[in-house]
Amino acid sequence: MSVADNIIKIKNELPEKVKLVAVSKTKPDSMVLEAYDVGQRIFGENKVQDLVSRQPDLPKDIQWHFIGHLQTNKVKFIAPFISMIEAVDRLKVLIEINRQALTFNRVIPCLLQFHIAEEETKFGLDIDEVKDLLESEEYGKMKNISIAGVMGMATFTDDEDQVRREFRRLRNIFRELKVTYFSEEPAFKELSMGMSGDYHIAIEEGSTMVRIGSDIFGERNFH
């Protein structure tokens, strides 16, 4: 099936309120345009260099989501145009996003990335770190970021019960944060979870945003 067919098929499967992030990392601009031509507007990238080099050549109404680990010294390159930074995994990077967003006179929506996988991975926050962050004086002063929700990745495994358990954990974190810190903030609404291998489970567990790469663009040769 073509990229266009894949987009149409997946869009038909998604509940209306679930947003599709088409993860175009490592794939050519021609494939992005093929998806764009059937109405796809949100695309995800995980490398600053790749994103910065392709963004000027592609339609300006594309909403780029940054979904990778972001180094603080690279925030400035994406700050002028990024629609959402999905993988905020430390206070330091949030401070820098705020600083750069101020420079460009923007408010940048961010998701807090949680470590939910039972396997060991390097990136992501835990609930205690996030509570400290949200209660910190520094956070209170940040006017150029908007926390739009949370993001997480389940373990790469065939064990569906485990994947479901991990997504459920993220949903519970989302609800706890919503009630405790964001009940007056409608902008805090996204629960970004689900990739090609597990997005059906993620949707059953309440995902509002799925990030799908290989089911749209085909397998990647490298990450």
Range 41-60, binding ligand PLP (CB under 6 A) = 46
CA torsion sign, 56 to 61 to 62 to 64? Answer: positive
Interface with ligand PLP includes 155 (CB under 6 A)? no
* Binding residue count for ligand PLP, defined by CB under 6 A: 14
Give the separation between CA 196 and CA 185, rounded to whole angstroms.
Answer: 30
Residue 11 near residue 22, CB atoms below 8 Å? no
Pick 46 or 100: Cβ nearer ligand PLP? 46
Beta bridge partners of 149: 111, 190
Give the separation between CA 191 and CA 155, rounded to whole angstroms.
Answer: 17
CA distance readout (Å), 139 to 89, 94, 180: 14, 9, 15
- Helix (H/G/I), strand (E/B), else coil: 88: strand
Residue at token pair 């989302």: 174
Binder among 23, 93, 94, 148 for ligand PLP (CB under 6 A): 23
Interface with ligand PLP includes 214 (CB under 6 A)? yes
How near is the Cβ of 191 to ligand PLP at its closest, in Å?
Answer: 14
Interface with ligand PLP includes 130 (CB under 6 A)? no
Residue nearest to ligand PLP (CB): 213
Pick 197 or 206: Cβ nearer ligand PLP? 197
How near is the Cβ of 184 to ligand PLP at its closest, in Å?
Answer: 29
- Helix (H/G/I), strand (E/B), else coil: 210: strand
Binder among 195, 202, 203, 209 for ligand PLP (CB under 6 A): 195
- Which parts of this chain interact with ligand PLP (CB under 6 A)? 23, 25, 46, 67-68, 153, 195-197, 211-215
